[in-house]
């Protein structure tokens, strides 16, 4: 058994840890993440463009279905 608490053992282990991951591997990971973010952004832009076009088509169909607008008349006065 060790004569130190587990928290102290973990602290010492974390302090002594040396990562084997090289700078090149981290850079490659960052490049891959950047590429994924770019692709996701492009997909979002494409989806938003489709939604805007769809909303315009729907508005045009609703306007056509409503027919011509009649001028509004005010309340009639009693004669």
Distance between CA atoms of residues 62 and 78, nearest Å? 36
Q: Domain limits of the chain?
A: 21-65
Task: Decide: 9 and 2 in contact? Cβ < 8 Å.
Answer: yes
First to last CA, the chain: 106
Average pLDDT over residues 41-48: 95
Q: Read off the pTM.
A: 0.52
Report the share of the chain in percent with pLDDT over 90: 46
Q: What is the pLDDT of residues 4-32, one digit of tens each?
A: 888 888 888 888 877 776 778 888 889 99
Average pLDDT over residues 44-62: 97
């Amino acid at each position: 058994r060790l004569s130190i608490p587990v928290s102290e053992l973990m602290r010492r282990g974390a302090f002594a840890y040396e990562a084997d991951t090289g700078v090149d591997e981290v850079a490659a990971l960052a490049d891959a993440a950047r590429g994924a973010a770019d692709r996701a952004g492009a997909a979002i832009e494409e989806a938003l463009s489709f939604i805007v076009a769809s909303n315009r088509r729907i508005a045009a169909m609703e306007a056509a279905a409503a027919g011509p607008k009649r001028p509004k008349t005010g309340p009639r006065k009693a004669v």
